[in-house]
């Protein structure tokens, strides 16, 4: 173990994810029978996991092919999750056209979150059994169809509610499977930047939506925000079809161990391009549907998954809450901002998401290499938890700063730009935390990645759903400062849980 990580106790003899990282370090004992290593840098980095001899193994694909698939899925993922806050900036406009109170329009975001949580759970059995490609294709089609539906619903509120639920279900696979797809296609030392890109697409890119939606609503009408999404989804569908082959691969114990002799994999033929277009390429597991459906919830008995859900779920929930506060401050008196001005208020949040992406991308793999060297060349998945440090700083500054300043904007004590800057800090922390928790799931529990991401999406959306319905009531009853300060304290406490998690997870993971 080393570097403060406790040694396993009792019957635990093997720790998933713990492995040798460097091969040619003079201070490190060489790895016997090593077959694959990346020697493009100063030191040879052992490929974790070791690729098989099968030419169809995603780890054997050219890097450009993997990156093309990742960027395509990230684009569609950003498009899908952008539907969540698509009504944030034009709440008053939509409420007026529908002749409904603003709270009912806010509830439409809750409907999206409800559909997303349900969709994530329902996607697990199919993704586990048949792979991810058909799910991504189906989800893209659902985003396309439901966006057309929402854009043509007119003033029918019930139809819009149903469309929002279906939109959430279409977005769910990108939230729950995109991170797992990164784990399927890349080695440990390649995952940091790609996971940061995935985190930005499903957690941070949505903050650009209100900026664009405000302008579109003013010039074309709010229905066109959905029409534009449907146009982009229609354009992206061929890219998903042709550029994103099946990345799920059954990697048994006999394949994960290095081998110097040819195996049965070596006799397999490379799939043709036409064959790679098939939505399915075989069954991946023999487990039953009900067992797969319930497995994400069983993970909550493991403290490591509880920690992951808290780290990512709460930060996203708080960010949703802060978005509601922004609407309370700027859309109402005395500012009476238009949908365009309200949309621009989220520009700082999107800038924070970009900063979080940059920080996570720069630090994710660099810290792993540095810590592995200090640990005698041995890699531990707990090294990913170190990223919670920047999240703690950025998120803490953002929430405490927002709590102190946001309530004083209307009195004139602070300019409106001040709380918006603190929102940027909070969103940066959210993106960094999303990357840290996602990388930890992939590296420590790759065999449970789909279930881990799914339960994380469910918890995150349940919390956000509740906050969406209670935010206005809570703020109006006790005030912004009294509401956000306890939230900031909870966030600090959750980040502090990372310390015992870093030290003790070796005694928790193997039981699952």
Who has greater pLDDT, 305 or 260?
Answer: 305
Instruction: Identify each DSSP E strand in 335-490 by its residue range.
Output: 378-379
pLDDT beyond 50 at 263: no
pLDDT beyond 80 at 251: no
Q: What is the mean pLDDT of residues 420-445?
A: 90
Among 394, 476, 431, CA closest to 78: 431
> In DSSP terms, which residues pair with 19 in a beta bridge?
379
Q: What is the mean pLDDT of residues 273-290?
A: 84
| Integer Cα distance of 407 and 403 in angstroms | 7
- Which of the four pLDDT bands, split at 50, 70 and 90, describes residue 358? very high
- Which of the four pLDDT bands, split at 50, 70 and 90, describes residue 265? very low
Contact yes or no for 427/458 (Cβ under 8 A): no
Q: What is the mean pLDDT of residues 454-473?
A: 82
Who has greater pLDDT, 323 or 71?
Answer: 71
User: How high is the mean pLDDT of the chain?
Assistant: 84
pLDDT beyond 70 at 157: yes
- The percentage of residues in the chain with a pLDDT greater than 90, rounded to a whole number, is 34
Cα end-to-end span (Å), the chain: 19
Helix, strand, coil: what percent of the chain each, to 5?
A: 70, 0, 25
pLDDT at 413: 86
Domains of the chain plus CATH, in order, are: 63-245+287-511 (1.20.1250.20)
- Which of the four pLDDT bands, split at 50, 70 and 90, describes residue 4? low
pLDDT at 6: 56
pLDDT beyond 60 at 69: yes
| Integer Cα distance of 419 and 437 in angstroms | 27
CA distances, 383 to each of 5, 10, 389 (Å): 10, 23, 12
Residue 277 DSSP SS3: coil
Q: What is the mean pLDDT of residues 491-507?
A: 81
| Integer Cα distance of 114 and 467 in angstroms | 12
| Integer Cα distance of 12 and 448 in angstroms | 19
Query: DSSP of 196-255, one letter per residue?
Result: HHHHIIIIIGGGGHHHHHHHHHHHH-THHHHHHHHHHHHHHHHHHHHH---------HHH
Token readout for 120 is 């994530």
Sorted by sequence, the CB contacts under 8 Å of residue 119 that are 6+ apart come out as 168, 169, 170, 171, 172, 173
Prediction pTM value: 0.86
| Integer Cα distance of 142 and 173 in angstroms | 11
- Which of the four pLDDT bands, split at 50, 70 and 90, describes residue 256? very low
Token readout for 465 is 């759903």
pLDDT digits (tens, 9 = 90+) for 103-141: 788 888 888 988 998 999 998 889 988 999 999 999 999
- The percentage of residues in the chain with a pLDDT greater than 70, rounded to a whole number, is 85
pLDDT at 160: 94
Sorted by sequence, the CB contacts under 8 Å of residue 90 that are 6+ apart come out as 213, 214, 217, 222, 225, 339, 342, 343
Contact yes or no for 62/54 (Cβ under 8 A): no
| Integer Cα distance of 22 and 29 in angstroms | 10
pLDDT digits (tens, 9 = 90+) for 171-216: 999 999 999 999 999 988 889 899 999 988 988 778 888 889 888 9
Highest mean pLDDT among 250-264, 321-335, 349-363, 408-422: 349-363
Token readout for 121 is 């759970």
pLDDT digits (tens, 9 = 90+) for 158-171: 999 999 999 999 99
| Integer Cα distance of 404 and 401 in angstroms | 5
Token readout for 60 is 């054997």
pLDDT at 354: 92
pLDDT at 17: 60
pLDDT at 74: 96
């Amino acid at each position: 173990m080393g570097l403060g990580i406790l040694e396993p106790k009792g019957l635990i003899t093997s720790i998933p994810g713990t492995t040798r990282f460097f091969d040619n370090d003079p201070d490190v004992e060489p790895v016997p029978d090593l077959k694959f290593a990346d020697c493009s840098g100063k030191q040879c980095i052992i490929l974790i996991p070791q690729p098989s001899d099968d030419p169809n193994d995603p780890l054997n694909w050219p890097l450009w092919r993997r990156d093309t698939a990742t960027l395509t899925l990230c684009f569609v993922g950003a498009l899908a999750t952008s539907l969540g806050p698509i009504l944030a900036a034009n709440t008053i406009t939509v409420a007026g056209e529908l002749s409904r109170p603003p709270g009912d329009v806010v509830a439409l975001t809750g409907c999206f979150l409800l559909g997303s949580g349900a969709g994530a759970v329902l996607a697990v059995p199919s993704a586990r059994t048949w792979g991810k490609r058909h799910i991504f294709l189906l989800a893209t089609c659902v985003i396309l169809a439901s966006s057309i539906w929402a854009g043509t619903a007119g003033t029918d509120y019930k139809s819009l509610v149903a469309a929002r639920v279906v939109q959430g279900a279409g977005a769910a696979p990108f939230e729950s499977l995109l991170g797992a797809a990164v784990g399927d296609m890349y080695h440990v030392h390649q995952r940091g930047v790609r996971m940061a890109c995935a985190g930005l697409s499903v957690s941070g890119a949505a903050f650009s939506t209100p900026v664009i939606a405000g302008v579109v609503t003013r010039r074309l009408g709010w229905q066109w925000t959905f029409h534009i999404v449907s146009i982009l989804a229609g354009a992206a569908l061929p890219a998903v079809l042709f550029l994103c082959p099946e990345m799920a691969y059954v990697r048994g114990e006999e394949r994960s161990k290095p081998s110097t002799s040819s195996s049965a994999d070596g006799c397999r033929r490379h799939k043709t391009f036409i064959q790679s277009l098939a939505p399915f390429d075989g069954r991946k597991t023999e487990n039953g549907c009900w067992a797969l459906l319930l497995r994400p919830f069983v993970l909550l008995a493991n403290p490591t998954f509880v920690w992951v859900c808290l780290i990512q779920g709460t930060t996203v929930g708080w960010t949703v809450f802060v978005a509601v506060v922004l609407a309370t401050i700027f859309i109402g008196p005395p500012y009476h901002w238009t949908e365009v001005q309200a949309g621009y208020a989220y520009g700082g949040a999107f800038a924070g998401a970009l900063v979080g992406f940059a920080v996570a991308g720069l630090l994710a793999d660099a810290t792993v290499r540095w810590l592995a060297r200090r640990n005698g060349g041995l890699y531990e998945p707990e090294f990913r938890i170190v990223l919670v440090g920047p999240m703690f700083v950025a998120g803490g500054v953002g929430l405490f700063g927002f709590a102190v300043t946001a309530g004083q904007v209307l009195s004139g004590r602070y300019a409106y730009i001040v709380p918006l800057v603190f929102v940027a800090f909070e969103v940066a922390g959210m993106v960094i935390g999303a990357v840290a928790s996602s990388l930890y799931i992939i590296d420590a529990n790759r065999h449970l990645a789909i279930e881990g991401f799914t339960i994380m999406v469910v918890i995150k959306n349940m919390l956000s759903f509740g906050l969406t319905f209670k935010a206005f009531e809570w703020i109006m009853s006790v005030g912004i400062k009294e509401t956000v300060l306890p939230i900031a304290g909870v966030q600090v406490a959750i980040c502090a849980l990372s310390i015992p998690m870093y030290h003790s997870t070796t005694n928790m993971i193997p039981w699952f």
